[in-house]
Amino acid sequence: MKALILAAGKGERFFPFNVFRPKPMFPICNRPLLEWTVSRLIDANITDIGIVVGHRGGRARNYFGNGQRFGCQITYIEQPQPKGTAHAVGLASDFIGTDDVLVIFGDIFFSGGAIPHLLDAFRERNCSGVAGIVQVDDLSSHIRAHVEKDQSLSSYTYKPRGGSGQALSGLYVFKNEILSDLGNTSDFVPRTQYGIFPPEGQEICDVIPLLYGEGHALIAAELPGPWFDMDLPWHPKNVAFMALAEMADGLTESVVAPTATVDPDARIRGPIFVDENTTIARDAYIEGPVWIGKNTQILEGSHIASRTVIGDRCKIGPFAKVSGTVDTNCHITYLGEFSGIMLEEGRVTHQIQLSGIFGERAEIGAGTQVGTLRFDDAEIEVEVQGIRRKAPGFTGVLFGDYSRTGIGAMIMPGRIVGPCAMVGAGVVLMKNVPPYKAVLVKQQLDVVDWSPNIYER
């Protein structure tokens, strides 16, 4: 059995975090989402892995290399144009050879039990293939699976109008003999809800009715949770919550490296993991479970909230407050308050309140404030590709890679700051900022006479 991960798409709805990386390379608890998938495969004893790459594929190649560091062998297959998931599998025919194959969409998070469950169903039913199925509350964002009484898949509907039900998960197992049928899919997705435009591309879902009609139906296997399709730019926070819950189950007692230093006046409640050469100063308050990387400083009076991950070579505080995930070599300094996700080498100066997701090497000027609540107390909305979408449970902003703010900038909740952009000093940002743009305040100043005579009244 080989595995094929599909990670070539442009992820345009994931803006602003798709510009400098493929979506599957977005870090979840300081590990790319793709690494979570690779680890699941290795745990299931599948070590011959192909990754289909396209947009910014060099990020995946540079991170994983040949896979030896992770205990597997990785082959890369190029898909220069995103022509669909079935097309991607076809491009990998030389890699797959005569083996059966497990196909996984690169932008989904799933439990460690999902792959073994799928493989068990494949062996027990001795079928042409198995499709992982999940229960979702809103089918309008997914592909509905039409499952017959014998668990065979007969058809699908692409993103129907609302309702709950069974959806395709993006995990499949195929017998080698039926892979040729993936080349017989349409060049668009015909089975949409009536009145909805069909998306372009050769997609795996379109092989379902073909196989059913030929008497080689795929079998539906409901996957154990959790499962999440990371599609929109605020979704990494949803995925991080799931990953943190899994990590918390594995941290039942504190683990402190011998070279780490924890001041006796630091207050620790609950289990923590502290890596080599890290220092926790006096009056730091840490609520476990918390994970802190190597060579990191948690300075005096800082507060680290429960289920927080802090990477290597970070500097937190003094008197900072952090909740969420903070990647490698980030600084959150004096009286900085941060909640959300910060990617590597972020710089947050003093007296700041931040919430949301902040891209790599972002620099936040002193006194920057981020709104977390609308005046009408409604859910935060984010404009994605010209469409305003509700972002349930999300607070804060979406701040692109290599962007920055000036002193005293204020950003309203739900706004997107594109990569390589700047929000100038004193700006109250009410709209999204495109990439490579700066938003500046124009002031009209008056210079008036001011002499000692003013005080002689």
The answer to whether residue 236 is domain-embedded is: no
Classify 195 as helix, strand or coil: coil
178: domain CATH number is: 3.90.550.10
The answer to whether residue 365 is domain-embedded is: yes
Report the pLDDT value the prediction gives residue 162, as an integer from 0 to 100. Answer: 80
How confident is the model over 406-454, as pLDDT tens digits? 999 999 999 999 999 999 999 999 999 999 999 999 989 999 888 888 8
Give the mean pLDDT of 270-275.
98
How confident is the model over 107-123, as pLDDT tens digits? 999 999 999 999 999 99
Classify 70 as helix, strand or coil: helix
Report the pLDDT value the prediction gives residue 167, as an integer from 0 to 100. Answer: 97
- The answer, yes or no, to whether residue 457 has pLDDT greater than 80, is no
The answer to whether residue 455 is domain-embedded is: no
352: domain CATH number is: 2.160.10.10
How confident is the model over 180-205, as pLDDT tens digits? 999 889 888 888 877 778 888 999 99
How confident is the model over 300-355, as pLDDT tens digits? 999 999 999 999 999 999 999 999 999 999 999 999 999 999 999 999 988 999 99
The range of the structural domain enclosing residue 98 comes to: 2-231
Alpha carbon separation from 297 to 267, 301, 339 (Å, rounded): 15, 12, 18
- The count of structural domains within the chain is 2
The answer to whether residue 456 is domain-embedded is: no
Examine the domain organization and report whether 150 and 273 are in the same domain.
Answer: no
Q: How far apart are CA 33 and CA 27, in angstroms?
A: 6
pTM for the model stands at 0.95
Report the pLDDT value the prediction gives residue 371, as an integer from 0 to 100. Answer: 93
Q: How far apart are CA 56 and CA 405, in angstroms?
A: 26
Q: Which two tokens stand for residue 124?
A: 């027990």
Nearest to 290 by CA among 243, 248, 242: 248
Alpha carbon separation from 150 to 102, 178, 207, 228, 349 (Å, rounded): 22, 20, 19, 26, 60
Confidence of residue 262 (pLDDT cuts 50, 70, 90): very high
Q: How far apart are CA 280 and CA 399, in angstroms?
A: 29
- The answer, yes or no, to whether residue 41 has pLDDT greater than 80, is yes
- The answer, yes or no, to whether residue 159 has pLDDT greater than 80, is yes
Report the pLDDT value the prediction gives residue 126, as an integer from 0 to 100. Answer: 86
Are 245 and 225 a contacting pair, CB within 8 Å? no
Report the pLDDT value the prediction gives residue 452, as an integer from 0 to 100. Answer: 84
Give the mean pLDDT of 90-114.
97
